[in-house]
Structure 1
Amino acid sequence: MSTSTPPRLPRTGDTEQTAELLWKAVSAADEYAATELVLRLLDEGTDPESVLLDVIAQVQGRVGEEWAANRISVAQEHAATAINERAVTAVSTHSAARTAVTRGRITVACVDGEWHGLPARLLAEVLKLRGWQVDYLGAQVPTPHLIGHLHSTRADVVALSSSIATRLPTAHAAITACQAVGVPVLVGGAAFGPEGRYAKLLGADAWAPDARTAAGHLAQERLPRPASDHQRFDDLPHLGDQEYTMVARNSATLVRSVLTGLEDAFPAMRAYSELQRERTAQDLAHIVDFLATALYLDDEDLFTRFIAWTAQILVARGVPARSLPPALDLLDRELKDFPRAVRILRAGTHALTTAPFTAAGNIA
């Protein structure tokens, strides 16, 4: 609970200083100070959309950065996100955010398996402010339930959000299913890659890098209802080699095999505690999941970006990045009969082995 005197708010429009005040409240796990701050902003005339996107969203981005740098724990990251979600709720219920419906109806949801719901929630609130009737379905929405909802509401558009690239095959299924019932799909989130490169590949009708751009795009251009054969899975002909299917189905077996082989390939692992072994297994599972996704998209850049990011995360947590190449080499051996998988794994190894390392074996 906050016991301090509320700080003086910066002058209107100084969102950077305001975001700093919210960050202090969020990082201190002070829910009351955070919600009081956003309510005072609205009371004093700050535009609700600016509070959502220039203050709350900016602070949430910083939360992710602090976690990646190992300056806050997973528990602290979850607590901070929960407080930001409550701050969004405070904005949405304020009288300044009550807007009449002047546009059509839109469904906003996260793809199944995507638990980062805050970006979608922010979009939903911005669209309400822009005059849309919004059905916000939240995180991890199974595609059959999404389609059932569309049948009952006759939405004009679906906005799908995903931050995790490994959910892209699921996103593809959701996009295809929505279009099959005649509803166009706008997608957004980090999962769709730089400049939304995977949005086009997976047949989405539109892509936006952020909530403000998405709302602007929908205001300028009405997305046409697609024909029932607008998008089919055979638009990804490389899937015919079954490499994606085989890797995805055998991911647990691959993780166990590599985990066993790592004791010889990376002798330092022999001294690992049970907790360290468990975390290593989790890291390997993520590597296999990203490999499978790269096979689905036939895009090695997705895998190399993930591997580079993983190396940075490990370094921040005091784990030498030199532990990654042996794991990729073991996967290479396990999948020697899968040419696309081998190509992608070797691209990842090349990205790691050509990076500068410190004397401790970490990426410089």
Structure 2
Amino acid sequence: MANKDLVRRALSVTANMPAKQAKPAVGEGPSAVAKEFANESHLQAVPVPRTGPGSMLAFMAEQSEVHKEVVRLRERISEFDGADVVRRIDPNEITASNWANRDVSHFDTDAFAKLKAEIANSEGNVQPIKVRAKKNPDGVGVPFEIVYGHRRHRACLELGIPVLALIESDMEDAELFVEMERENRDREDLSAWEQGVMYQRALDQNLFQSARQLAVAIERDVSNISRAMALAKLPADVIRAFGSPLNLQFRWATPLRDAHQRDPEGLLEKARKVSESTPRLTPAEVFSFLTRPPVVEAASAKRPVEWKDSDGKRLALLSTDKKGRAILSFAQAIEESEQRKLIKLIDGFLGSRS
């Protein structure tokens, strides 16, 4: 009976081992652990004894070693529990985000050419991009969408090589937008216009209820967001006058918006002239030309000049009397601080005439 008890105890060693439930991770880590288990060579073989009790003791000792090894490997596998999956993906299986914030002109810059050369020399991107699995219940369409890394993805696509990608299985739209915006802010700076297009698209698609809510989510000043969106709302002819939307600057947003509100047709006419001019003006020269106040020519001195807001309501009127004397009137009363600004401008104007 003693020998039978020994056999029962020996056979129950592995059956009674604690079943630690570890979530299997996808990727190379866990498989490497399994391979290590298959190729293990350090377990010491127990010499086969010649007596019955000795055989039982040897069997129990061997099972104890196996038990220890299984526990060790379970602990190794548990380290990969919840780990993100990183693998190489065909770039054709990845689509740009709905809120992609890189204008196509970015891919014609020296900075992109340098990045592409670095990736080619390294035979792939060292820093992975991030993608999320698209919700395609029928399995039709491209399976992945970029969270961030549009430039690295484009470089790999043009080089015809797989792109190293971190795969996020479940991510909401707003979460994707915030992570994309923050990651790009730490890398190659987006132009003011690109940021404005991205912010406006997020609001149009109801990712956020207001510019203020958007500002809180991405931890940016709401005034910067407003200026960026003002640039994004400029007519295409005005953007084209600068040669590339990447040339637009935050500090130009308010003057350009005001020039457009004051005289929309006049601004468009100026912008078309700039686009057709040779040699090309610098972006700063274009800005100066487009925002320059209208000049009243002698032949048209009797024709009043009118300023309007975005709703078409008159803000101010410059007219002349029969003797050619200028009269500037405002539709509404102006505050004392605004009067001081106006006086300063008139002083400067009169000083330039003397």
Q: What's the TM-score bracket when you normalise by the shorter of the two chains? A: under 0.3
| The structure with more helix, counted as a fraction of residues | 1
Rg: which structure is higher?
2
What is the TM-score with the length of structure 2 in the denominator? Answer: 0.22
